[in-house]
């Protein structure tokens, strides 16, 4: 059983490495994922293929920072650059700093929507999410706020 799990994880890793090149094409936040994705105190999750088909996603990548203080200036700079090309922008700004943001980006492929989500939390935590897929903005909101049973 343990070998089967390891084998499955290796296949997922192999299949997802090719997506890194295409994912986040032309976006500044790509540098955030590459710079901080493997650092101590940061959890990176990347899902692709069958794992996200249930939600009509093609790719899901997230970073969760236990302490975002040193990375926050870089993240905010990248968000400022990327939101210039966004089709939809929804932000909560406190004291001139983004506390949470939702950005729908232009499609690079037909029927593949792209989103950036960002939120700072209590005690210096933060989450940055990039996803692509057929889901639209309403589907994304439903997915994010649906009750777990």
What pLDDT, on a 0 to 100 scale, did the predictor assign at position 58? Answer: 84
Q: How far is 124 from 58, CA to CA, in rounded Å?
A: 30
CATH of domain 2-145: 3.40.1000
> Span 89-108, mean pLDDT?
90
Which residues, in sequence order, are bridge partners of residue 131?
Answer: 60, 115
What pLDDT, on a 0 to 100 scale, did the predictor assign at position 24? Answer: 73
Q: How far, in whole angstroms, is CA 41 from its chain's centroid?
A: 17
Would you kindly state where each structural domain of the chain is located, as residue ranges? 2-145
Q: Is the pLDDT of residue 38 over 80?
A: yes
Sign of CA dihedral 105, 34, 56, 15: positive
* Whole-number average pLDDT of the chain: 81
Q: Is the pLDDT of residue 12 over 80?
A: no
Cβ contacts of 118 within 8 Å, gap of 6 or more: 75, 79, 98, 100, 101, 126, 127, 128, 129
Instruction: Please give the DSSP secondary-structure letter assigned to residue 83.
Output: H
What pLDDT, on a 0 to 100 scale, did the predictor assign at position 111? Answer: 86
């Amino acid at each position: 059983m343990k070998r089967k799990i390891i084998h499955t994880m290796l296949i997922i890793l192999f299949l997802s490495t090719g997506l890194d090149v295409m994912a986040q094409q032309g976006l500044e936040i790509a540098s955030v994922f590459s710079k901080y994705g493997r650092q101590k105190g940061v959890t990176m999750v990347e899902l692709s293929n069958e794992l996200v088909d249930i939600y009509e996603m093609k790719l899901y990548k997230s970073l969760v920072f236990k302490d975002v203080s040193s990375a926050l200036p870089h993240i905010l700079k990248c968000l400022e650059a990327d939101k210039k090309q966004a089709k939809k922008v929804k932000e909560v700004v406190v004291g001139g700093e983004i506390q949470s943001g939702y950005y729908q980006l232009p499609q690079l492929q037909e029927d593949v929507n792209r989103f950036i989500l960002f939120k700072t939390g209590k005690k210096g935590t933060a989450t940055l999410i990039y996803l692509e897929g057929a889901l639209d903005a309403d589907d994304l909101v439903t997915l994010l706020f649906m009750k777990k049973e």
